[in-house]
Chains A and B, each alone.
Chain A
Amino acid sequence: MDLSMLWYLVPSVVMLACGVYGFVTRKNLIAILISLELILNSADLNFVVFNRYLFPDMMEGMVFTLFSIAIAAAETAVAIAIIINVYRAVGATDINIVNKMKH
Chain B
Amino acid sequence: MGITLPILILAIPVAMFLILGIGGVFMSRKTAGVLGILGMGTTMTLAYIVAFTYFFSGSPEFIVEGVRQQVQLFDVTWLAFTQKLVVNIGFILDPISAMMLVVITTISFMVHLYSWGYMEHEPGFQRYYAFLSLFSFSMLGLVVATNIFQMYIFWELVGVSSYLLIGFFYKLPSAVSASKKAFIVTRFADLGFLIGILVLSYYSESFNFITLTHNPESVLMSTGGATFMGCSALTWAMVLIFVGGMGKSAMMPLHIWLPDAMEGPTPVSALIHAATMVVAGVYLVARMFPLYCVVDASLTFVTCVGAITAFYAAVVACTQLDIKRVLAFSTISQIAFMMVSLGVAYDRPIEGIHYTGLGYMAGMFHLFTHAMFKALLFLGAGALIHAVHSNNYTKMGGLRKYMPITHLTFLIGCLAIAGIWPFSGFFSKDEMLAAMFANHWFWGAWMTMVAGLTAFYMFRLYYLIFWWDENPEYAEHRPHDAPWQMSVPLIFLAAVSCVAGFIPFGELVTWNGEPYHIHIEGAVAATSLTVAVLAIALATVMYRKKNEWPARVKNMWPGLWTAAYHRFYWDEIYMFITHKIIFGGICRSIAWFDRHVIDGAMNGMAWITQKTSFAIRGMQSGQIQAYVLWYFLGALLLAAVTWLALI
Contacts and interface: CB of A to CB of B under 8 A. Distances in A.
A89 interface: no
B625 A95 contact: yes
Interface string B609-624: 0000000011011111
B602 interface: no
Contacts of A88: none
Contacts of A102: 620-622
B622 A24 contact: no
Give the bracket for the number of chain A residues in contact with chain B. Answer: 10 to 19
A23 B618 CA distance: 22
Given A95-B623, A99-B623, A24 B628 contact: yes
B641 to A, nearest CB: 20
A96 B625 CA distance: 10
Contact of B617 (A100, A101, A103): A103
Interface string A19-36: 010011100000010000
A46 to B, nearest CB: 16
Interface residues of B, number: 11
Nearest to A96: B623
A23 B620 contact: no
A99 B623 CA distance: 6
Interface string A82-99: 000000000000011001
Interface in B599-647: 617-618, 620-625, 628-629, 632
Given A103-B617, A103-B618, A24 B629 contact: yes
A99 B621 contact: yes
B624 A95 contact: yes
Nearest to A26: B625
Contacts of B625: 23-25, 32, 95
Contacts of B617: 103
B505 to A, nearest CB: 89
B622 to A, nearest CB: 3
Nearest to B629: A24
B391 to A, nearest CB: 72
B99 to A, nearest CB: 82
Contacts of B628: 20, 23-24
A100 to B, nearest CB: 6
A99 B622 contact: yes
Contacts of B623: 95-96, 99
A100 B629 CA distance: 19
Nearest to B625: A24
B622 A100 contact: yes
Nearest to B618: A103
Contacts of A20: 628, 632
Contacts of A101: 622
Nearest to B621: A102
Interface of A: 20, 23-25, 32, 95-96, 99-103
20 contacts: A20-B628, A20-B632, A23-B625, A23-B628, A24-B625, A24-B632, A25-B625, A32-B624, A32-B625, A95-B623, A95-B624, A96-B623, A99-B621, A99-B623, A100-B622, A102-B620, A102-B621, A103-B617, A103-B618, A103-B620
Given A24-B629, A96-B623, A102-B621, 12 more contacts: A20-B628, A23-B625, A24-B625, A24-B628, A25-B625, A95-B623, A95-B625, A100-B622, A101-B622, A102-B620, A102-B622, A103-B620
